[in-house]
Structure 1
Amino acid sequence: MKTMQTASGRRLGVLDAARGFVLLNMLVYHLLYDLVALFGVRLSWFWEWQGTVWQQFIACGFIFLSGISCGFSRSNARRGAQLLGWGMALSLGTWLVMPQQIIRFGVLHFLGCAALLWALTGRFLERLPAGVLLTGGLLLFLLTNGTQWGYWGVWRLPLLELPAGLYTTRWLFPLGFPGPDFYSSDYFPLLPWIFLFWAGTAFHRVLENAPRLRRALAPQAPLLSALGRRTLVVYLLHQPVIYGLVWMWYRFCA
Structure 2
Amino acid sequence: MSAPSFIVPAPGGRLDRIDRLRAVAMLWMTAYHLCFDLDFFGFIQADMLTDPFWTLQRTAIVSLFLFTAGVSQAIASEQGVAWPRFWRRWAQVAGAAVLVTAGSALMFPRTFIYFGVLHAMAVMLIVARLSAGWGRWLWPLGAVAIALPWLAPVAMAAWPALEFLNQPGWNALGFISRKPITEDYVPLLPWLGLMWWGVASGQWLLHRRPHWLGSPGGGGALATLGRWSLSYYLLHQPVLLGLLTAWVWLQG
> In the TM superposition, what is the alpha-carbon distance from 1:146 to its structure 2 partner?
3.7
Residue 215 of structure 2 corresponds to residue 214 of structure 1: no
Mapping for residues 4-153 of structure 1, pairs under 5 Å: 6-8=8-10, 11-39=14-42, 41-43=44-46, 47-73=50-76, 74=81, 75=83, 76-119=86-129, 121-122=130-131, 126-129=133-136, 132-133=137-138, 135-146=139-150, 150-151=152-153
TM-score, normalised to structure 2, is 0.79
Deviations 1:168-221 (A, max 9, x none): 3443022124697943211111111112111111122112212xx222332664
> In the TM superposition, what is the alpha-carbon distance from 1:137 to its structure 2 partner?
4.2
Unaligned runs of at least 5 residues, structure 1: 152-159
Percent of aligned pairs with the same residue?
28
2:155 to 140, 150, 161: 161
- Structure with more contact order per residue of length (Cα contacts < 8 Å, sep ≥ 6): 2
Unaligned runs of at least 5 residues, structure 2: 1-6
Distance (Å, rounded) in 2 between the aligned partners of 1:41 and 1:96: 24
1:156 is aligned to none
Distance (Å, rounded) in 2 between the aligned partners of 1:46 and 1:97: 18
Paired residues in the alignment total: 232
Q: What letter corresponds to residue 64 of structure 1 in structure 2?
A: F
Distance (Å, rounded) in 2 between the aligned partners of 1:181 and 1:25: 24
The answer to whether the Cα contact below 8 Å between 1:66 and 1:197 also exists between their aligned partners in 2 is yes
Deviations 1:194-249 (A, max 9, x none): 12111111122112212xx2223326642221111110000011111111111111
Distance (Å, rounded) in 1 between the aligned partners of 2:114 and 2:236: 18
Q: What letter corresponds to residue 207 of structure 2 in structure 1?
A: N
Distance (Å, rounded) in 2 between the aligned partners of 1:167 and 1:18: 39
Cα distance change on mapping 1:166 and 1:238 into 2, 3 Å: farther
Distance (Å, rounded) in 1 between the aligned partners of 2:179 and 2:192: 24
Structural RMSD (CA): 2.8
> In the TM superposition, what is the alpha-carbon distance from 1:250 to its structure 2 partner?
2.0
